[in-house]
Structure 1
Amino acid sequence: MKATALEFRLRFLLGVIIYVLGFIAPWNIFLHLDSIRTWQYLAAWPARTGWLGFSTATIAVLILGILCALTGAFLRTWASAYLDPSIVKAGTMHGDNVMADGPYRHLRNPLYLGTFFHTFALALLMPPSGAIFCILAIAFIQLRLIHAEESFLAVKLGEPYLAYCARVPRLLPSLSARVPASATKPTWFKAFLSEIYMWGVFVSFAALGWRYNSVLIIKGVLISLGISLIIRAFLPKR
């Protein structure tokens, strides 16, 4: 179940490939499936059953997308502020000490949970078959990466990390902090820059979603990705 070192190094590329496949859903051609967006499908379902009008359901799904995008961006930025963005983007695993501050007092893998929420937001812009594929594929990759990192840290850090794992949940956050705060100082601005793509996706949903045009939001996502790649090239490497 653990990811290999190669998978870890290429995790961002693998994610991009999965998202692209989710958006284009090439199998729809062979399965003769419609290219309707998941956003439209979810909005039409309660309208057909009479629970909500189509306009109200469309707004409800949009708000869901905005909240998922915001939660993903916040979690990843909060985690990056304490872990250091250079480690977050590193191609190899790091483990100098047990990180037990910021979001890591509530759950062990806030970065991965943030990516899950981000994936749910993007899935609304995909065809339903692409959304299902993307969510399942990202979950599979993320869980493999989590098991690989936790196994690595358990070996490298030993008992302190195992004690931390025994108190702090893996993915479902605890409302109250499970461990005392350490003296780690967050680097908020650097973390925001490193996660500018996530914030760009949130802004795309929040600002462009009210045009009810999925293609327009997708363009905002692509622009956010381009900006993040430029900024990432100038961020200091550890």
Structure 2
Amino acid sequence: MNDTDNAFAEGPPKARKQPKIKDGKQREKRLDRLRLQGFWPLYACFVLLAWTAPLGEEHAWQSAIRFTGLGVTLLGVLMRIWSNGYLLKKEELATAGPYGRTRNPLYVGTWLIGCGLALNTAWPWNVMLLGFYNVMFFSIYKSQIRIEEEMLASIYGEPYAEYCENVPRFFPGLRPWRKGSVSAFSLSRALRNRSWEPILGVAILWGAQMFMWSLGKPMIDGRSFSTAWQAFLGGAWIGI
């Protein structure tokens, strides 16, 4: 039995060292600025371009794309809740649950949320925004993931190297990787890790998008509020 076998046999590897990353704080600050300057304007576009054809009269396939977007967004929220329920920040290496399929399940959840919100916008803006979002996401988070990998490698050493060899960096594998005993999912831990934040954020963005789908755009086009409201009650907010 080698050292990594011993480490996993005793349970999830514990953090025993302080992270050491060259210029880590400065690099993270730059990425934080990029996220703030890039993603929030993009989220604003998701809302402003969320209108449908007049009062919800769109093709069935466009409604199907919108329903797909809602489902993808919900999947992303659930992914983040699931991931946070296993995460013990700066205490132990998470390898259970979604962490056995991808090393960055929280970012996978964030990515799904953004893709879903992009799909909820009006055709053909949804295709263009989806492409732009993916280019921006992978450009920024590729650097973020590298910083975190350096940090985790400095904390956990060989056990983390073995984990990286067996679990994909981003897109989840079909078979989970399991080794040794692992921590169980905890809803209270998920709440402590602020799983409610994406739920609140998505609720606000969904509400803003629904307003634009059925009330904002018709009123901008000169329809009365009462006409737009009747369309909203008739199902225009889901594209029917």
Q: TM-score range by the shorter chain?
A: 0.5 to 0.7
TM-score (norm: length of structure 2): 0.61
User: Partner of 2:71 in structure 1?
Assistant: 67
Distance in 2, matches of 1:137 and 1:147, equals 16
Q: Tell me which of 49, 69, 80 is aligned to 1:37.
A: 49
Instruction: Tell me the percent identity.
Output: 24
User: Partner of 1:121 in structure 2?
Assistant: 116
Give the stretch that moved more between structures: 207-216 or 133-142.
207-216
Secondary structure of 1:166's counterpart equals: helix
**Aligned positions of 1:39-188 closer than 5 A:** 54-84=58-88, 87=89, 94=90, 96-124=91-119, 125=121, 131-180=130-179, 182-188=181-187
Cα 1:173–1:134 shift into 2, 3 Å: closer
Query: Which structure exhibits the higher relative contact order, with contacts defined as CA atoms closer than 8 Å and separated by 6 or more residues?
Result: 2
Work out whether 1:22 is the aligned partner of 2:22: no
Cα 1:214–1:135 shift into 2, 3 Å: farther
State the number of aligned residues. 186
TM-score (norm: length of structure 1): 0.62
Larger radius of gyration: 2
Amino acid across the alignment from 2:105: P
Structure 1 gaps, min length 5 = 26-34, 42-52, 88-93, 217-238
Structure 2 gaps, min length 5 = 1-21, 217-240
User: Partner of 1:47 in structure 2?
Assistant: none
Deviation per residue, 1:111-138 (Å, 9 max, x gap): 1111111111232348566554433222
User: Partner of 2:13 in structure 1?
Assistant: none
Q: Is the 8 A contact 2:50 2:209 kept in 1?
A: no
Distance in 1, matches of 2:147 and 2:208, equals 38
Cα 1:213–1:71 shift into 2, 3 Å: same
Cα 1:186–1:6 shift into 2, 3 Å: farther
